[in-house]
Amino acid sequence: MSLNYDQAIEKYEPTLGLEVHVELNTKSKMFCGCATEFGAKPNTQTCPVCLGLPGALPVVNKKAIESTILIGLALNCSIAPYSRFARKNYFYPDMPKNFQTSQYDEPICTNGYLDVEIETDEGSKSFKIEIERVHMEEDTGKSLHVGGNTGRIHGADYSLLDYNRAGIPLVEIVTKIIPKTGKYAPQVARAYVAALRDILRGLQVSDVKMEQGSLRCDVNLSLSRVGSGKLGTRSETKNVNSLRSVERAVTGEIIRQSDRLEQGERIIQETRHFLEESGQTRPGRSKEQAEDYRYFPEPDLVPVVPDSKWIEELKKTLPEKPADRRKRLQSAWSVPDKEMAAMVNAELLDTVEQTVLLGADATKARSWWLGEISRIANDRNVFPTDLISVKDVAEIIALIAKGELTDKLARQVLEGVISGEGSPVDVITKRGLKVVSDDSQLMKAIEDAIAASPDTAERVRGGNIPAAGALIGAVMKATGGQADAAKVRELLLKHLGQ
């Protein structure tokens, strides 16, 4: 019988392990001076070193080492005083050298941790994710498979290789096993990758664009019977390319593995591929026969021996930790926990902060970005900042603060800016959206409203203030909503002796 997620989690305890590969944003490759630009024409960024031509000599990119040390420091790792590169030998055309230069038993950073927080029905929960190692390696080329897809060597089948990506610095960040996350395993996995991405972004060492593959996650997962204390056999799901997919891949594997176990089958140690459409995984190469990469120290590269002075200098450049920054902003803006979490989840914290830095009130900035703008962005399936610039939003908020726009008018201005009618001021001018603040013009509308409903006016004169609502409504209607309601109320009550 198949178990649903809740049943599966009641019976089985998931154990996670996450491997994240991040492409560094260096200008040149790891071991040669070729450019690293994304999307360049095929094989325009290669040289004898990254093509593995005989006699070529690799030299390590200093910035790549420094970026890796920074990542290690930000993840509370120890920085190894002595670290070496190794050759990982394998035969697959994505590496022209027939090996990938990586690090094996001497990684540059070890034993760190990252605290992640998740929101649950029982309040927020914190998990300490232990980091096993952070090491340097190089990315592989891109293959384009042409022909049939029988999965066998066929005369008609061939692959086309572009080595522009081969040799781009890659950092692999591997967690220790993450036990005891229980039903929160999918959320914890997602929160970890999100927290890691925020740190990498803050360090400015990578573009961290999951959709472009500059940040990729492999999810290891095993199940064990609750209380058995034994680790199960794990599967490794490759190249999960969005935060949502990380969460779905974990959920999907928990259900798939529990299903197998329920049927009395065993879990095969294998590589699986995440299927974006269904949220399920399909098997890849089986790892039943452990892969033997015949690692050995790379003889063409010398050891990396970072002295304490170098590390101290790098430490000084570490930015504020994302978690600390969040706490600081939350208290500066007096934002409740839930709203703060919403802002972080919507990835709008930076945007709101930039808007506030341009003078906008924090609450207003938050409500515009997360409210109206996010709503339109969702409808169009784009990111809010694709619709409108921070500067324009700050300007609209400033105009509201000055009383030149009401919220209602501001929404029209927003719509105008989004549909390309120019800056907020341009839209106001073109659409004639200024607040009616000219007192004499307002007074005329107020007098008209009183004349039209003398009984109501009489009640207000008699002290029935709530009755004024109907008159205010009439004035707003007469001015096409362009009057400031507070101002109308003030003038009206004064006029009626209140």
Residues 470, 468: Cα–Cα separation, whole Å: 5
- Helix, strand, or coil here: 469? helix
Handedness of CA 340, 345, 350, 351 (dihedral sign): negative
- Nearest residue (CB) to Zn ion, 29 versus 84: 29
Minimum CB separation from another protein for residue 375, in Å? 40
Residues 180, 13: Cα–Cα separation, whole Å: 7
Q: Which amino acid is at 302?
A: V
Minimum CB separation from another protein for residue 110, in Å? 18
- Nearest residue (CB) to another protein, 117 versus 207: 207
Minimum CB separation from Zn ion for residue 41, in Å? 15
Minimum CB separation from another protein for residue 29, in Å? 9
Contacts of 289 (CB under 8 A, 6+ apart): none
9, 20, 34, 80: which one contacts Zn ion (CB under 5 A)? 34
Binding mask 81-120 for another protein (x = CB under 8 A): -x-x----x-xxx--x------------------------
Handedness of CA 291, 197, 120, 247 (dihedral sign): negative
Residues 49, 119: Cα–Cα separation, whole Å: 48
Residues 111, 79: Cα–Cα separation, whole Å: 9
Asked if 32 interacts with Zn ion (CB under 5 A), we say yes
| Whether the Cβ atoms of residue 233 and residue 30 lie closer than 8 Å to each other | no
- Helix, strand, or coil here: 324? helix
Handedness of CA 421, 422, 423, 426 (dihedral sign): negative
Minimum CB separation from another protein for residue 70, in Å? 14
- Nearest residue (CB) to another protein, 150 versus 263: 150
Asked if 294 interacts with another protein (CB under 8 A), we say yes
Minimum CB separation from another protein for residue 313, in Å? 14
| Whether the Cβ atoms of residue 30 and residue 101 lie closer than 8 Å to each other | yes
302 binds, among another protein, Zn ion, none (CB under 5 to 8 A by kind): another protein
Helix 337-345 vs helix 322-333: angle between axes, to the nearest 10 degrees? 130
- Nearest residue (CB) to another protein, 294 versus 338: 294
Asked if 35 interacts with another protein (CB under 8 A), we say yes
Contacts of 362 (CB under 8 A, 6+ apart): 332, 333, 334, 335, 352, 356
Looking at 47-55, 244-252, 467-475, 476-484, which segment touches another protein (CB under 8 A)? Answer: 47-55
Asked if 302 interacts with another protein (CB under 8 A), we say yes
Minimum CB separation from Zn ion for residue 293, in Å? 23
Q: Which amino acid is at 20?
A: V
- Chain-centroid distance, C-alpha 351: 13
| Whether the Cβ atoms of residue 69 and residue 296 lie closer than 8 Å to each other | no
Contacts of 236 (CB under 8 A, 6+ apart): 218, 219, 220, 270, 271, 272, 287
Q: Binding residues for another protein, how many (CB under 8 A)? A: 61
- Nearest residue (CB) to another protein, 5 versus 90: 90
462 binds, among another protein, Zn ion, none (CB under 5 to 8 A by kind): none
- Could you tell me the CA-to-CA distances from 158 to 42, 161, 162 in Å, in that order? 17, 10, 14
- Nearest residue (CB) to another protein, 302 versus 452: 302
Residues 46, 374: Cα–Cα separation, whole Å: 42
Minimum CB separation from another protein for residue 277, in Å? 18
- Could you tell me the CA-to-CA distances from 80 to 84, 110, 309 in Å, in that order? 10, 7, 14
2, 11, 62, 120: which one contacts another protein (CB under 8 A)? 62
147 binds, among Zn ion, another protein, none (CB under 5 to 8 A by kind): another protein
50, 191, 450, 488: which one contacts Zn ion (CB under 5 A)? 50
Asked if 47 interacts with Zn ion (CB under 5 A), we say yes
Looking at 158-166, 246-254, 328-336, 351-359, which segment touches another protein (CB under 8 A)? Answer: 158-166
Asked if 162 interacts with another protein (CB under 8 A), we say yes
- Nearest residue (CB) to another protein, 149 versus 263: 149
Asked if 319 interacts with another protein (CB under 8 A), we say no
| Whether the Cβ atoms of residue 237 and residue 249 lie closer than 8 Å to each other | yes
Binding mask 247-266 for another protein (x = CB under 8 A): --------------------
Minimum CB separation from another protein for residue 135, in Å? 16
42, 202, 213, 422: which one contacts another protein (CB under 8 A)? 42
Minimum CB separation from another protein for residue 164, in Å? 9
Asked if 144 interacts with another protein (CB under 8 A), we say yes
Q: Which amino acid is at 250?
A: V
Half-sphere exposure at residue 451, Cβ-oriented, CA atoms within 13 angstroms: 6
**H/E element, 198:** helix 185-203
| Whether the Cβ atoms of residue 139 and residue 50 lie closer than 8 Å to each other | no
Asked if 381 interacts with another protein (CB under 8 A), we say no
CB atoms < 10 A from the CB of 157, how many?
14
Binding footprint of another protein on the chain (CB under 8 A): 26-28, 32-35, 41-48, 51, 53, 59-65, 82, 84, 89, 91-93, 96, 144-145, 147, 149-154, 157-163, 273, 284-285, 292, 294, 297-299, 301-306
Interface positions with Zn ion (CB under 5 A): 32, 34, 47, 49-50
